[in-house]
Structure 1
Amino acid sequence: MKYLKNVFATTFIMLIIFSCSSKTSVEIEEEVQEEEEIVVVVDDTDFEPTDWTVDTHSKDADPNFDEVFDDTAVKRLDFVISEENWQNMLNDMTSIYGNFGSRGSSGSFSDVDPIFVPGEVFYQGKEWYKVGLRFKGNSSLKSSWQAGILKLSFKLDFDEYEDDYPQIKNQRFYGFKKLSLKNNYDDDSLLREKVATDVFRNAGMVASHTAFYTLYVDHGEGPKYFGLYTLVEEVDDTVLETQYSSDEGNLYKPDGDAATFANGSFDEDEYVKKNNEDEANFTDVQNLLTILNDGTRTSEPVTWRANLEKVFDTDVFLKYLAVNGIIQNWDTYGRMTHNYFLYNNPDTSKLTWIPWDNNESLQTGKQGGSLPLNFSGLNSSSWPLIGYLYQDDVYKAKYDAYLKEVIEGAFQETSIQALYTKYAALIEEYATSEVSGYTFLNSSSSFYSAVSTLKSHATSRKSAVASYFD
C-alpha cells in the first residue's frame, strides 16, 4: 500500500552519505525527473508490536515528564527509515527548497510542510512502530538544507499512521503523541532553545518542556550520528493538556500580517487554528483586534483596559514582554509575525500568550535586533499589543514590576550563568563530537566560545535592566 503526495518535483537528488566516523561531507548526484509523484511507502502491515506496554506506548498513560524531559541527562533516539522513504523525504525537500547544498537555489520559504513517512523509533531498547516522521521548520530548515547540512529538525507523530496500522492505534511515547526535535540552528552553544524555555517556565509562564537528545538515523546504511538536538514538547499536545484545566479552547498559531493585530489586519486564514478547525468561529481573536485598536484607549483608558481584559490576559502578556525583552528574542512578535501561540483559556475565556521557538534568543539578534526594553523605535500602530500597552501608565507599571521580578529571579545573573555551566558540561562531549555535514559548528572551540558569550550576555542584561530604571 502506498500514499501519494500531490506535489511534483522538477529536480530530484540522490544523496550518497559516507560513514560518520570518517567525517566526510555529503556528496550529491542530481537526477532530473519530470512530473514524478512522490510515493510514500506504507508496507509490512502484519507486524506485532511486541515492545508495547501501557506505560510506554498507550494513550492510557499520563505523560511521563521525568522520563522524556530529564534535565540531568543527554538521552539517545534512533530512527530507522527505509531507504526508499528516506529518498522520498529528500525528493520532497528538493521540490520545496531546491537542490541540497545549493545556496543559490530558487527554493523559497514555504507554507507547505514536508511529507511524513513511517519509521521506527528506538529508545532505551524499546521500539515505537510506524511513527510519522518528517522534517520541520521554515527559515532554519531552508538554510540548513541549502547549506548542505543534514542536521535537520524533525516532527514526530506517534499515531500518524494508525489508520494503516491498527496495531498502533493511539500510540504514545510515554504519554506524548507529538514531539519536535530541534536542530539548534545558528546556535554554536546548542543551549539557547533549552535555556530560554527554562527561563519562561521558571518565571511562571506556560511554556514547553525541553531536553537534550542525540539522534542517530538509519536510512539503509546503518545508524549515522545526526548530532545533538533539543526535544521540545508540542503546545497542541501535552502543553494544553497538562498546564491548563482543559484543552478545548481555541489554539491559534498566528502567522502573517494579522499576527501583528494592527488595525485592519484581521484575516481568518492567518490566525491558524491548531484545534477546533471545523468550527469557523474566530470572534475571540477578532474581538481582541477590535478592542485593542478602539479609540477609547486614549479617550477612556479605564474603559479600554476593562474591555481588553475581558478578552485578553494582559498580565501574562506583560510578563512575557519582560522575559522576552530581558533574554532578547528578536524572532517573534515586535519584529516578526510568527513564533507565538494564543490560547483561549476555558477557565477565563481570555486569550493567553504562549511563547514558542526560542533558538534565536539570548543575543542581540538579526532584522534590526531585539527590541530595547523601553521599545524605543517601535511603531506602536504596527505592533499594538506592545506599543499600546506600554503607552498606558497602568500597564507600563506592571511591565516594570515584571522586569524587576525576572532579573532578580528567573534570569538572575549568577544563577543563569551557573545554569549555562551545568548544561554546557552535560552536552559538551556530544556537541563537540558532531561530524561534518551534520553540524553548524566550525570547530569545538566555537562551542566553548559561544557558551562564554552567553555568560557575558547575562551580565549585560543585568546592566541593561539597571540602565532602563535609571
Structure 2
Amino acid sequence: MIKTRVVYISMAILLLLFVVVSAVLPKTGIETKNTEFSYESIVFNKNKVTTVDIEIAEEDWADMLESATDKELKQANITVDGKRIENVAIRTKGSSSLNSVANSDSDRYSLKIDFDYYDDTQSLYGLKKLNLNNNFSDSTLMREYISYELMEQMGLPTPAHSYMYVTVNGEDRGLFLGVEAVDETFLANNYGSNDGFLFKPDGTGSDLKYISDDIADYTGIGLKTNEGNVDQSKFIDMIKAINNGGNIEKYIDVDEMLRYFAMNTAIVNLDSYQSNMKHNYYLYEKDGVFSIIPWDYNMSFGGFGGGGRMGGNIQMPADANMKAPEDAQTNEQLDKPDMEFPNNGVQQQQGERPNGGLDKGGINMGMGMSGDLMADSAINFSVTTPVSGTTLEDSPLLNALLSNEEYRAKYEGYLEEIATNYLTEENIQNITKKLALLLTTYVEADPTKFSTTEQFIEAVEGEKSLPEFAKQRSESILKQLSGELVVEATTQGNMAMPNPGEMGDMNIPMQRPDDFDPNQMPEDFDPSQAPPFNQNGDKQGDRPNGGGPMQRPDKNGGPMWPNQGDEQLKQGTVIDKNTILTAAVCFVLLIVALLFVLKFNRRGR
C-alpha cells in the first residue's frame, strides 16, 4: 500500500523538476537550444542594439582603411554582446558605395566578418558570416531595415537583420545595420537544405537574357555554391523558358517572385533587377526550381533616383567641406535657372546634378546620398511597367511574369494587398517610432555618420517622413491599379552612374552635428528609455530598459552592459522544443500526481 508520505515526496520531486526546467535553466545562460540557427534571435535581436567589439592589430586596421578597395582579409577577434570569437577574418565590403567612401575623407566602410574563414568549425550561434552595413546614401538609416521587414511580412525568405553599435580597439565606429549573409547557413535555415545552386547575378547574364546553351558564357551569374556540379543546374533551361515563352512554372517559383516584384515595385527599389543595373538579388535553385532572395535595400524608397542611378539632393552636416574635382564645372555654370538635365522625363530641381556634378556648396553627386524622399518620380513610380532606365523586354524574368494575364492579375492583387496592409502610414510609423526610441541616442553619439541626427528624426514622422512616403505611395498604387492615375514608365533617357574614379576628392569631416534638437523627437519618445550621452558623444549614465552604467568588455569578453535589464536578457535566451516538451510532460505528471493524491485522500487511506 502506498503511503501518503511517499506520494507527497514524489510530488515534491516532480514540482522541483518542473521549476528547474521551466524557470531556473533558461536564466542560467546555458544554451539549451541546438544552436544551429539560434543566431536569428540572439545575434539579430530587433528589440535592442547589439554591441560588436572588434579587436585587430593597429597596423592591420590602418592598412585595411588605407587600401579599402582591395577588400583584403585581416585577422581579428570579435565580441558580440559578450560572446567572444577569436581568429576570425574581416574585410571591407561594397561596390559603388565602397568606392565612393574611398574617394572621400570618410573611412566609414561597411564590413564583412567571416567567423569560419580560419576555422571551418567556428560560428556565432550558427552564424558563419556577418555584414555590417554603413547606411551609405540613406540619411534615414531605416530604408534597408524597413524593406527587409516588409519583405518578411510578405512571406519572402529574408536575411536576418538588426542594428549594431560597432567599436574597433575600444574606439567607437558608430551605428551599423547588421545583416545575415546569404550563404549555406541561410539556405539551410530557410530552404531546409543547401545542396542546390546559389547565384548572385551581377554582370554579363545578370539580365537573364538568353546568350547561348553554354553556361560559361554567362560570366556574371555569380554561382556561389555547388560550383563543381554546375552542369547539373537547370539555369539554361530556366533562361530559355523565360525568354521564349516556355512553361516558366516548371523552373521558377512564380508566386514567390510575384510577391517579390510587387513589394520591390511598391517600395521603389531601383538599385535592382528593375533598372539597367540588373543586380542586388539572389537566385536559389533547389530541385530545378528557382527562388528569388531580396538583397541590398539602402537605396529603396526611391533613393536610387529615376533611370536607375544614384541621385537626388544631398544633405550633409552643416560643417561638411566638400572638394570639387579640378576640372569640374563651376556652380555658376551649372546653376542656371533654365538649365535642364535628362531624368527620364522628370525635370530635376535646381541644384540637382547628374553624373557626379556639383550641387551648391561643391557637393559631389557621386556620393549618391539619398535626396528628396517625396519626389514625384518615386511616389508615382509606375506599377504597370515597373522598370526604370530599361524596358520590360530587356528584363525577361519580370517580362515573362507580367506578360501573362493570370500572373499580372496576381501581381496586381499583391500590390493592392501591400498598399492596404503593409506599405501603410500606420504600419511604417509603428516601425519608425520604435526605431526612433531605440536608436536616436546611438545616432547622436555616432562619430562617423554620414548625415545628421535631425535628418534621422525627420524620417520618423511629418511631411518628409517614411510614413508619409508610405501614405502617398500606397495611394498612388491604388489609383494606378484602378486606372484613375496613369503613369508612363521611365524607360528612356537613362543616366549612367558616375565612375567612382572620376568623382574627385571629397573632404567630409564626419563630426557629431551641433544642431541636434531634442524637440524634434516623436511625440511619444521617452528619453528615459534611452542612454544619455554628453556633449562629446561619450557614453555615460544608464543603458536602455534600466541597464547599468556602460562598461568596456573585460579581458574575458564580459558583457558590454552587464545590467541590461530583465527584458533584454529574456529576449536573448533561446529555449528549444525539447525543453518545452520536457516542461510540459513534467507539468502533466504533476497534475496527474495531484489528482491521484486527492483521490487517494478521499478514500481515507
Q: TM-score range by the shorter chain?
A: 0.7 to 0.9
Residue 305 of structure 2 is aligned to residue 366 of structure 1: yes
Do structure 1's residue 411 and structure 2's residue 423 form an aligned pair?
A: yes
How far apart are 1:434 and its partner, in Å?
1.5
CA distance in 1, matches of 2:257, 2:104: 36
1:292 equivalent among 209, 218, 242: 242
Q: How many residues align?
A: 374
- Distance between the aligned counterparts of 1:316 and 1:286, measured in 2? 20
Compared CA separation, residues 237 and 411, structure 1 to 2 (3 A): farther
Query: Greater Rg, structure 1 or structure 2?
Result: 2
Aligned 8 A contact 1:59 1:170 in 2: no
Is 1:261 aligned to 2:208, yes or no?
yes
Maintained 8 Å contact 2:274/2:386:
no
- How far does residue 280 in structure 1 lie from its aligned partner after superposition? 3.3
Q: Which runs of 4+ in 1 moved over 4 A?
A: 53-56, 58-61
Give the Cα–Cα distance (whole angstroms) in 1 for the partners of residues 81 and 417 of structure 2. Answer: 40
The equivalent position to 2:58 in structure 1, one of 80, 83, 86, is: 83
- Taking structure 2 as the reference length, what is the TM-score of the superposition? 0.59
- Paired with 1:146 and 1:394, the residues of 2 have a C-alpha distance of 48
Unaligned runs of 5+ in 2: 1-28, 309-377, 483-605
**CA deviation digits over 1:405-450, x for unaligned, max 9?**
2223332331122111111221111112222xx1101x32122223
Alignment match of 1:337 (pick from 265, 278, 295): 278
Residue 156 in 1 paired to residue 86 in 2? no
The corresponding residue for 1:248 is: 195
1:232-281 deviation digits (Å, cap 9, x = unpaired): 01111432111112111100001113111123376332111111122232
Partner deviation per Cα, 1:93-123 (whole Å, 9 max, x = no partner): 2xx4xxxxxxxxxxxxxxxx61111101113
Please tell me whether residue 308 in structure 1 is matched to residue 248 in structure 2. yes
List aligned pairs for 1:224-239, cutoff 5 A.
Answer: 224-239=171-186
Aligned equivalents of 2:83 and 2:141: distance in 1? 27
Q: Say yes or no: does 1:459 pair with 2:466.
A: no
CA change 1:84–1:59 in 2 (3 A) is farther
- C-alpha distance 405-127 of structure 1, shift in aligned 2 (>3 A): same
- Residue 185 of structure 1 is aligned with which of 136, 161, 172? 136
Other-structure match for 1:400: 412
Structure 2 counterpart of 1:115, one-letter code: E
Instruction: Write the letter of the residue equivalent to 2:278.
Output: T
**Aligned partner letter, 2:234:** D
Q: CA deviation at 1:211?
A: 0.3
Does the CA contact (< 8 Å) of 2:133 and 2:176 recur in 1?
Answer: yes
Q: Could you tell me which residue of structure 2 aligns to residue 420 of structure 1? A: 432
Give 3-state SS (helix, strand or coil) of 2:123's partner: coil
Distance 2:400 2:190 in 1: 29
Structure 1 position 364, deviation (Å): 5.4
Q: What SS does the aligned partner of 2:222 have?
A: strand
Aligned counterpart, 1:31: none
Q: Which one has a larger percent strand, Structure 1 or Structure 2?
A: 1
* Distance change in 2, residues 1:92/1:365 (3 Å): closer
For the 8 Å contact 1:262–1:381, the answer to whether it is kept is no
Partner amino acid, structure 2, of 1:422: K
- Cα deviations by residue, 1:335-388 (Å, 9 ceiling, x for unpaired): 122100000124xx3011111011111225325256521116752221111223
Paired-residue identity, %: 31
Q: Residue 257 of structure 1 contacts residue 337 of structure 1 at CA under 8 Å; is this kept in 2?
A: no
Q: Deviations over 1:58-89 (max 9, x none)?
A: 99644332211111101211101101211331
Cα RMSD for the two superposed structures: 2.2
3-state SS of the aligned residue for 1:368? coil
Q: CA deviation at 1:289?
A: 1.3
Q: Secondary structure at the match of 1:403?
A: helix
Matched letter for residue 231 of structure 1: G
SS state at 2:75 partner: strand
Separation in structure 2 between the aligned mates of residue 451 and residue 149 of structure 1, nearest angstrom: 26
Structure 2 residue aligned with 1:448: 457
Q: Counterpart of 1:67 in structure 2: which amino acid?
A: I
| Gap regions ≥5 residues in structure 1 | 1-52, 97-112, 163-168, 298-303
Pick the aligned partner of 1:272 from 222, 244, 247: 222
Q: Partners in 2 of 1:264 and 1:283 — Cα distance?
A: 16
Q: Which residue of 2 aligns with 1:14?
A: none
Mapped partners of 2:122, 2:417: distance in 1: 41
CA contact (8 A) 1:343 1:353 kept: yes
8 A Cα contact 1:260 1:333, kept in partner = yes
The offset of 1:283, in angstroms, is 4.1
From the superposition, tell whether residues 331 and 273 of structure 1 become closer, same or farther in structure 2 (CA, over 3 Å).
Answer: same
Alpha-carbon distance in 1 for matches of 2:179, 2:58: 27
**Is the 1:117–1:134 Cα contact (8 Å) retained in structure 2?**
yes
Q: Secondary structure of the residue that 1:388 maps to in structure 2?
A: helix
Residue 116 in structure 1 maps to residue 73 in structure 2 = yes
Matched AA of 2:125: Y
**Residue aligned with 1:279, SS:** helix
Distance 2:178 2:95 in 1: 17
Q: What residue in structure 1 maps to residue 535 of structure 2?
A: none
Letter of the structure 2 residue corresponding to residue 363 of structure 1: G
Give a deviation string over 1:20-45, Cα, whole Å, max 9, x none: xxxxxxxxxxxxxxxxxxxxxxxxxx
Letter matched to residue 274 of structure 2: G
The residue type equivalent to 2:72 in the other structure is I
CA shift for structure 1 position 54: 9.1
| Contact 1:255 1:337 (C-alpha < 8 Å) held by counterparts | yes
